[in-house]
Structure 1
Amino acid sequence: MTFDPTTLRQWWPKPSSPKPIVIFGAGSIVGDAHLPAYRKGGFPVAGIFDPNADKANALADQWGIRAFASEEEALGADGVIFDLATPPAAHAAILSRLPRGSFALIQKPMGSDLNQASEILKVCRERDIKAAVNFQLRFAPMMLALYDAVEKGLLGDVVDFDAWLALATPWGLWPFLKGLPRIEIAMHSIHYLDFIRGLLGNPQGVHAKTIGHPNHDVAQTRTAAILDYGDKVRCVLSVNHDHDFGRKFQACEFRISGTKGAAYIKLGVNLDYPKGEPDELWIRAAGETEWAEVKLEGAWFPDAFVNRMANLQRFASGEDETLVGSVEDAWQTMALVEAAYQSSATPATPIAALPKA
């Protein structure tokens, strides 16, 4: 074997002098991912603010950090990175109050729809805020390694991308989703669409259908989508969150095929959620006859959050020239999401009636 899986990149370089982080929001994602990631990455947390002071104080006590007494106090912190772990509809208003020239991380999605994404982009431009959106799947160790393999030519030219999900997602864990008109693509498959854009660039268009399920009232939990990359690349997503018949035949996986090699990715966190299973990455590199497993050093949660913040911190300090997933780039992911919903709402081409015998 000439391909050495241990040479693939899994971690973003750490900043030499990380800036303290001010967190807006004290929801479950902060305690489950943001704070564990920042502690693991060695990023100092200046404090946390939430309009619900009891939630902020409880989380602050749990992690030994400061709870700001007011939004004004949080906004007054100097030389920090602002982390907006807030609901999509709240992003623009908070950004409009950040100090000019700030650096910020915005929880995905970038607003509830494309109109809100455009407002967020406008605010960031007007206030010179250098912001990234937390589409952190691009930064998961398995995905950094996959990107590295593609960049090194181990797969040749990518010509096929398949996402296949057949699993049981416990939507009841997120009561705030109840009544929302857009769920599956806007809150879940958006991660995959953003990752695919990072791998293949912007598609020419999208064909999609997203629907609910008769066993519950969540707006959408099942999606089928084709991303149009012309006549060379086939890109398909089959997503079913209602395959609730035991673990045996469930799946959450990507298959990426090139002209010379291929890769297989298991996204373990979504299986038996929230317990999850280990992620996996396998590559059959150009010139090889066997598949090789890439031993992963971390998982999507929380390690993608470590890498995501590392890039933002290094961009803020001038150590990185490019802010991956900036608001300018993330807006295009939101545009793809919008196009998918518009496609889903468009009647399909009818089949011509068969001629009568």
Structure 2
Amino acid sequence: MTLTVNICTDWSAWDWLVATGRLEIVYHSIHYLDAIRSLLGDPEASFRVDGTEGAIKGTLGLLYDYPHGRPDTLEVSSRVLPTDGRLPYPVTRRRLPDAVAAPMGSLLAAVAEGGEPETSGADNLGTLRLLDALYQSMDSGESRRPGSAA
């Protein structure tokens, strides 16, 4: 899978964050990495998914003119569906903040009613292991699997 995000975030609104080392992955890209994990599972060395019968392309509208943003977009190109190129797909919700609201709502429901939220603490640790492997890889210049020895 390839996920390309082109954004220049003005971090100056968060003075404490600007001084933080390695802020991009921990405070921004973590959300994309977590989304990829939820779709494909934990990465092993490397992965790439190419559709043989089509492709999906879209935008996360909030990233344009943050924090105001635009609507999210989604387009599908398919060898199966009758299209002459990309077919716009109706997007009825925004990835952000809806993607944050759903896990938080699940957490609040689990606290109120007992039980496990949809995204558990154990699953969140998987994302943190992935971040740690990314930082180890950057520091050493070597590829690492999440959870592997340095």
State the shift of 1:169 in Å: 1.2
Inter-CA distance 286–201: structure 2 relative to 1 (3 Å threshold) = farther
State the shift of 1:327 in Å: 0.7
State the shift of 1:166 in Å: 2.5
State the shift of 1:340 in Å: 0.4
Inter-CA distance 305–193: structure 2 relative to 1 (3 Å threshold) = closer
Are positions 1:343 and 2:137 aligned together?
Answer: yes
Whole-angstrom CA distance in 1 between matches of 2:125 and 2:19: 25
Secondary structure, aligned partner of 1:323: coil
Are positions 1:168 and 2:11 aligned together?
Answer: no
Partner of 1:327: 121
State the shift of 1:314 in Å: 4.8
Aligned residues, how many? 139
Partner of 1:266: 59
Structure with greater helix share of residues: 2
Whole-angstrom CA distance in 2 between matches of 1:306 and 1:203: 25
State the shift of 1:286 in Å: 6.0
Structure with greater strand share of residues: 1
Whole-angstrom CA distance in 2 between matches of 1:260 and 1:299: 26
Whole-angstrom CA distance in 2 between matches of 1:195 and 1:338: 17
Alpha-carbon RMSD across the aligned residues, in angstroms, is 2.4
Secondary structure, aligned partner of 1:184: helix
State the shift of 1:204 in Å: 1.1
Secondary structure, aligned partner of 1:262: strand
Secondary structure, aligned partner of 2:5: strand
Whole-angstrom CA distance in 1 between matches of 2:77 and 2:6: 24
Q: Percent identity?
A: 34
State the shift of 1:301 in Å: 3.5
Flag the structure with more relative contact order, 1 or 2, with Cα contacts below 8 A and sequence separation at least 6. Answer: 1
Secondary structure, aligned partner of 1:164: coil
From 82, 90, 99, give the equivalent of 1:304.
99
Taking the TM superposition and a 5 Å limit, the aligned residue runs for 1:140-155 are none
Structure of greater Rg: 1
State the shift of 1:197 in Å: 0.6
Inter-CA distance 287–188: structure 2 relative to 1 (3 Å threshold) = same
What is the TM-score when the length of structure 2 is the normalising length?
A: 0.78
